[in-house]
Structure 1
Amino acid sequence: MPELPEVEVSRMGISPHVEGQQIIAVKVHDSRLRWPVPERVQAVVGERLQRVQRRAKYLLLETDAGTLILHLGMSGALRVVPSSTPLKKHDHVELVFANGQSLRLNDPRRFGALLYVDDDAEQHVLLKNLGPEPLTEAFNTDYLFQRSRGRQQAIKTFIMDNHVVVGVGNIYANESLFKAGIHPKRAAGKVSRQRYQRLVPLIKETLAQAIQQGGTSLRDFTQVDGQPGYFAQQLAVYGRGGKLCMRCKTRLKEIRLGQRSTVYCPQCQR
């Protein structure tokens, strides 16, 4: 599933090609996504796409008439192509622009979504209870420390909870906790303020580096398939269970935590 950095790079990729463009058609080739694509998406026809914003893993395509809420699901990808380009298999929805280009959502597994709201998108049921964005000032040591008090939940699943903070997916939770030297199973409420003071900037750094690497390698989204994938970054623990720790040479352990693969160093993380 695309994580926050991949979604942010998708936003960076499509924005220059679609912002300011007039939408002349919304073509729903197959409405059977995670939720049926509603007829109300047609409300944006004739409007200019003013901005493409991101909230958690949702892309918000804003017009004066309302906002399209787009989610890539587990396998979704976006690309901008000439509108005359033949459809690919699994091209389920497209926005057609007056300049002859189309933004297409390709989603083989159909866990993506395209929805519409005519008022404040932030108050939509999918968004209104989300935690702060991790790269903003709202996500800070005091906030995370206070939210953690009394919590017996493992620190890894705690920072992956979108009600606490959005976008810290499995890869980035593994990596951030390793950098901070915190055992992933440690109870969130037992982590000291001092350790949160170290963890918070490392979460920000890990996500920012992933976005930067994706942005650096980003090709024109009119030429590629729109699938940035996970960025070619040096991962210290994720996917390396059973291998030697890059820091201390202890063998890394892999467990299941919150039904997700969790890799950690028993020596470096306490």
Structure 2
Amino acid sequence: MIEIPESITIAKQLNETVFGKKICKVIANASPHKFAFYHGDPVDYSALLAGQVIGDSIGIGAMIEIAAGDRRIVLGDGANLRYYDDSSKTPSKHQLLLEFDDGSALVCTVQMYGAVLAFIEGAYNNKYHLVAKEKPLPLADAFDRVYFDSLRTEGSDKLSAKAFLATEQRIPGLGNGVLQDILFHTGIHPKRKMGTISEIEFGRLFDSVKDTLTEMTRLGGRDTEKDLFGSVGGYRKLLSKNTVGKPCSVCGTNIKKAAYLGGAVYWCPACQPLDE
């Protein structure tokens, strides 16, 4: 799934690869997918996008927004975007294909679920998209300790650490994937209640959010995700499906996994104890 490190990495790669190219062919919904979500009728995507020139691409939380004239293409969640320098090499099954005037192409596919949106700028009023554009990313200077403190509101002390960081769009693009290592670096269990976290620990949590996401982004995303060219990211996750049952990199205790709040959580029982 796209999260902050991947959206920023892929947006940067798009700016280096397709900026200034003219869209000459558009195919949307060639392979119908029950959980591929479009804006309006995908049949209209060709008329909407063909002839437009690709502008700036930006990472917005868990979304990638591509400018094409006064049009916008937004990809999110489980939408996988790949670049092909030869459009004849693109896969036959896809949810969106854009061919350019130089013979290259972008292909978007969806596995579990994903957003594949195209619209005229200002015509998409989805609250998740708007909130993600309004709030500062953790990599930005505006995301400082004062701002992080402001995320603690009435009732948040009853939330678990996972719920506080990765739900209600408190920090758009910080999802269950990047959450695991952020908490590991602070020694906080994903199920631990925020009300039990001291001010010193909260400060460490702020530092970990900033530092961990910065490092993930610097290395081109996580090793559990792929970039625009199909290569896995350079950040090696400490806690993931790939490390369950293996020794903790700090203490050697085996990493554990459990289902929690609609996804899996991973932790080291020794480094991230939980008093229940």
TM range (shorter): 0.7 to 0.9
The match for 2:85 is: 81
Cα separation, 2, equivalents of 1:102 and 1:234 = 29
For structure 2, the 5+ residue unaligned runs are none
The match for 2:248 is: 245
The match for 2:162 is: 156
Offset at 1:57?
2.0
Matched, 1:63 2:54: no
The match for 1:235 is: 237
Offset at 1:62?
0.8
Query: What TM-score does the superposition give when structure 2 sets the normalisation length?
Result: 0.80
| Helix, strand or coil at the partner of 2:131 | coil
1:145 aligned to which of 142, 149, 152: 149
The match for 1:191 is: 197
The match for 1:264 is: 267
Cα separation, 2, equivalents of 1:252 and 1:22 = 49
The match for 2:52 is: 47
Query: What TM-score does the superposition give when structure 1 sets the normalisation length?
Result: 0.81
The match for 1:180 is: 186
**Residues 27, 195 of structure 1: alpha-carbon distance in 2 compared, 3 angstrom cutoff:** same
Q: Residue 67 of structure 1 contacts residue 118 of structure 1 at CA under 8 Å; is this kept in 2?
A: yes
Offset at 1:159?
0.8
Cα separation, 1, equivalents of 2:268 and 2:29 = 48
For structure 1, the 5+ residue unaligned runs are none
**Residues 169, 98 of structure 1: alpha-carbon distance in 2 compared, 3 angstrom cutoff:** same
The match for 1:15 is: 15
Cα separation, 1, equivalents of 2:51 and 2:246 = 56
Which 10-residue stretch deviates more, 24-33 or 12-21?
24-33
Offset at 1:29?
5.3
**Residues 220, 122 of structure 1: alpha-carbon distance in 2 compared, 3 angstrom cutoff:** closer
RMSD of aligned Cα (Å): 3.0
Offset at 1:155?
0.7
Cα separation, 1, equivalents of 2:57 and 2:63 = 10
Q: How many residues align?
A: 261
Deviations 1:7-34 (A, max 9, x none): 3322232322211112223222516342
Q: Residue 2 of structure 2 contacts residue 63 of structure 2 at CA under 8 Å; is this kept in 1?
A: no
Aligned structure 1 segments of 4 or more residues deviating by more than 6 angstroms: none
**Residues 27, 142 of structure 1: alpha-carbon distance in 2 compared, 3 angstrom cutoff:** same
| Helix, strand or coil at the partner of 2:26 | strand
The match for 2:96 is: 93
Offset at 1:135?
1.3
Offset at 1:127?
0.6
Offset at 1:158?
1.7
Identity of aligned residues (%): 23
| Helix, strand or coil at the partner of 2:106 | strand
Q: Residue 67 of structure 1 contacts residue 121 of structure 1 at CA under 8 Å; is this kept in 2?
A: no
| Helix, strand or coil at the partner of 1:214 | coil
Cα separation, 1, equivalents of 2:120 and 2:206 = 35
2:122 aligned to which of 100, 120, 123: 120
